[in-house]
Chain A
Amino acid sequence: MPRVVVDVMPKPEILDPQGKAVLGALPRLGFTGVTDVRQGKRFELELAGEITDETLEQVRLMAETLLSNPVIEDFVVHLPETEPSQVSAR
């Protein structure tokens, strides 16, 4: 099933209290060296048909209308990269 990914992140100038909470928790667990954390959302959309420029445009519209709030968030539409788990998982 073709899949498209939408990543949504708080705009850089918008305070991200959740990211700050994570940043505060890391040193308490002994993880050092992290200077900032921003927390966003990832949407994985399964599409019924082939991925075309038209369907990608539709996904952009979905991202702009519902998946993100353009006042406080930025989004990126992309195809799934090499499964990150294969790179980072133990």
Chain B
Amino acid sequence: MKVGVVTFPGSLDDVDAQRAVRIGGNEAVALWHGDHDLGGVDAVVLPGGFSYGDYLRCGAISRFSPVMTEVIAAAHRGMPVLGICNGFQILCESHLLPGALIRNDHRKFVCRDQRLRIEHTRTPWTSSYDEGAEVTLVLKNGEGGFVADEDTLDRLEGEGQVLARYLDVNPNGSLRDIAGIANERGNVVGLMPHPEHAVEDLTGAGTDGLGFFTSLTAAVFS
């Protein structure tokens, strides 16, 4: 599969995401924030970083970039879209995912190996995981507190859209320990921790993140 990775001005983890896509067995296609088409890709990753300097609100300016118009339209047609960290913020600002991400409740940037439980595996990004799998991924954010109103949180839990939950500690004040969510259809996924930094033994906390990038292949052949 061809997986597009969007680079915005201020993206940091786009090259790591491209590498993770390749290690996962797919072809990585570099997309630029000013692109008006998606170059025929089958899926899109919005990487972490500080797109547009986090000006106004994290993801608020990126959401209106030309490439996002295409990503939003494709997501509505069912294309798999994964937003990691800043990408998750962009997906919330785009209203492709409910809720929002606000400054960590303890007001400090957090950077740690974080244990998570994968709770939703019926998505093209998590189908390689066993439901309830406990994984360790790098978490690094200043504005990673997931918030939504009570009704939205109840709906996310009721519909099984909570993708992953923090274990051991809640690192940023996210309501109900939510680390990631999916849309109703399951094709759009947002995650605050970074699976693309956990795909090789050489660096990082291990290879627990690889499943996000092998799931696409598994989803196609299943």
Binding between chains A and B: yes
B107 to chain A: which residues have CB within 8 Å?
17-18, 20-21
Contact across chains for B104 and A69 when beta carbons are under 8 A apart: no
Question: Which chain B residues in 19-70 approach chain A with CB under 8 Å?
Answer: 56-57, 60, 64
A72 at the A/B interface (Cβ < 8 Å)?
Answer: yes
B4 at the A/B interface (Cβ < 8 Å)?
Answer: no
In this complex, how many residues of chain A approach chain B with their Cβ under 8 Å: the count is 13
Instruction: Identify whether the interface residues of B are mostly helix, strand, loop, or mixed.
Output: loop
Smallest CB–CB gap between A44 and chain B, Å?
15
Query: Which residue from chain B places its CB closest to the CB of A10 in the assembled complex?
Result: B102
Contact across chains for A14 and B60 when beta carbons are under 8 A apart: no
Smallest CB–CB gap between B222 and chain A, Å?
34
Contact across chains for B56 and A66 when beta carbons are under 8 A apart: yes
A71 at the A/B interface (Cβ < 8 Å)?
Answer: yes
Q: What separation, in Å, do the CA atoms of A66 and B94 have in the docked complex?
A: 11
B56 to chain A: which residues have CB within 8 Å?
66-67
Contact across chains for B103 and A69 when beta carbons are under 8 A apart: no
A15 at the A/B interface (Cβ < 8 Å)?
Answer: yes
A10 to chain B: which residues have CB within 8 Å?
102
Contact across chains for B99 and A71 when beta carbons are under 8 A apart: yes
Interface flags, B145-160, vs A, CB<8A=1, else 0: 1011100000000000
Contact across chains for B60 and A69 when beta carbons are under 8 A apart: yes
Contact across chains for B100 and A72 when beta carbons are under 8 A apart: yes
Contact across chains for B102 and A15 when beta carbons are under 8 A apart: yes
B178 at the A/B interface (Cβ < 8 Å)?
Answer: no
Smallest CB–CB gap between B182 and chain A, Å?
17
CB-CB under 8 A for A15 and B145, given A69-B93, A71-B100, A72-B100: yes
Contacts A/B (CB < 8 Å), 30 sampled: A13-B149, A14-B102, A14-B147, A15-B105, A15-B145, A15-B147, A17-B103, A17-B104, A17-B106, A18-B103, A18-B107, A20-B107, A21-B107, A66-B56, A66-B60, A66-B64, A67-B56, A69-B57, A69-B60, A69-B93, A69-B100, A71-B92, A71-B98, A71-B99, A71-B100, A71-B147, A71-B148, A72-B100, A72-B102, A72-B147
- B-to-A contact residues, CB < 8 Å: 56-57, 60, 64, 92-93, 98-100, 102-107, 145, 147-149, 173
Can you add 19 more A-B contacts, CB < 8 Å, to A66-B56, A72-B102?
A: A10-B102, A13-B149, A14-B102, A14-B147, A15-B145, A17-B102, A17-B104, A17-B107, A20-B107, A21-B107, A66-B60, A67-B56, A69-B60, A69-B100, A71-B92, A71-B98, A71-B147, A72-B100, A72-B147
